[in-house]
Amino acid sequence: MGRTMKIGIIGGTGFYETEGSEITVDTNYGAISLFHQEKYERDVLFVPRHGKKKAVPHAVNYHGIIEALHRSGVTAIMALNTVGSMKEEIGVGSLVIPDDFIDFTARKSTFFDDELVHVDMSEPFCPVLRKLALKEASRRCETHEGVYVVTEGPRFETRAEIRMFRTFADVVGMTLSPEVVLAREKGICYASICLVSNYAAGMQKTLDVEEITRVHAKRKKDILAIIDECIKKIPERRNCGCHHAAARGRL
Ligand SMILES: [Zn+2]
């Protein structure tokens, strides 16, 4: 790998692109496979979130993935997530760039087990990456901003859960947290591009995985093009506060 900026792409369901050369990075959480490609004079490291064994959302090695990207020198991550819409106006096949999240999982969401570090989450996504993703996504597809509720899964939500969630959030999914928190702890800029693959429980007749696969196939080209533009345009110099988060949160 060269001395250029390093960008991490975390691919979700339907994104198992493994072009480029495979690199294995040892972490405190096991070995992680990254796929390296050079694009627009930048080093791009792709990680399929669910790995080769297609781990279920609660068993994804979030800590290993973020540590592997950090050890590789990655300073910016664009993540791809699949979500269900809880708002009629956010249609299936549209994209959502979350501006906040609410975590309903019971997952461990820190690297700091032995020291008191409270990272600031008042703006959980990197403002620079988020705006870039929003701009590039809006050019190609119907795109919204919104609040992402993270559930434990792997089951889908109940209708009552959705009735509650939709009063304070827009989309629901299983994979954003703890990834977004761990990236912040490591000082990596992070933003997410979410594909709406279905309406949440109670808003459509049934939820089936086949439908999700169909939506993915339809939107894949657009999402890859958006990611490409982001790789090209992520600013080399960081004017956001992401990289100081852990230092500022240390007691
Ligand atoms: Zn940032």
Read off the pLDDT of residues 155-175 as tens digits, 9 standing for 90 and up: 999 999 999 999 999 999 999
What pLDDT was estimated at residue 73?
97
Q: How far is the CA of 80 from the centre of ligand 1 (A)?
A: 17
Q: Where are the domains of the chain?
A: 6-249
- The structure tokens listed for 235 are 């600013």
If one looks up domain 6-249 in CATH, what number appears?
3.40.50.1580
Q: How far is the CA of 241 from the centre of ligand 1 (A)?
A: 6
Q: How far is the CA of 159 from the centre of ligand 1 (A)?
A: 36
What pLDDT was estimated at residue 224?
92
**Is 80 exceeded by the pLDDT of residue 240?**
yes
Taking the C-alpha atoms of 85, 87, 90 and 96 in order, what is their torsion angle to the nearest 10 degrees? -60
Q: How far is the CA of 203 from the centre of ligand 1 (A)?
A: 35
Whole-model pTM: value is 0.94
**Is 90 exceeded by the pLDDT of residue 150?**
yes
Read off the pLDDT of residues 64-115 as tens digits, 9 standing for 90 and up: 999 999 999 999 999 999 999 999 999 999 999 999 999 999 999 999 999 9
Q: How far is the CA of 10 from the centre of ligand 1 (A)?
A: 16
183 class by beta-carbon count within 10 Å (0-12 exposed, 13-18 middle, 19+ buried) = buried
Read off the pLDDT of residues 192-234 as tens digits, 9 standing for 90 and up: 999 999 999 888 777 677 877 888 888 999 999 999 999 999 9
Could you tell me if 120 and 191 are in contact, meaning their C-beta atoms sit under 8 angstroms apart?
no
Q: How far is the CA of 189 from the centre of ligand 1 (A)?
A: 4
What pLDDT was estimated at residue 3?
63
**Lowest mean pLDDT: which of 40-49, 125-134, 166-175, 200-209?**
200-209
**Is 90 exceeded by the pLDDT of residue 187?**
yes
Chain-wide mean pLDDT for the chain? 92
Q: How far is the CA of 192 from the centre of ligand 1 (A)?
A: 12
- Of the pLDDT bands very low, low, confident and very high (cuts 50, 70, 90), residue 137 is very high
What pLDDT was estimated at residue 2?
54
Percent of the chain's residues with pLDDT above 90: 78
**Is 90 exceeded by the pLDDT of residue 45?**
yes
Question: CB within 5 A of ion ligand 1: which residues?
Answer: 126, 189, 240, 242
What pLDDT was estimated at residue 66?
98
Average pLDDT of the residues in 104-132? 95
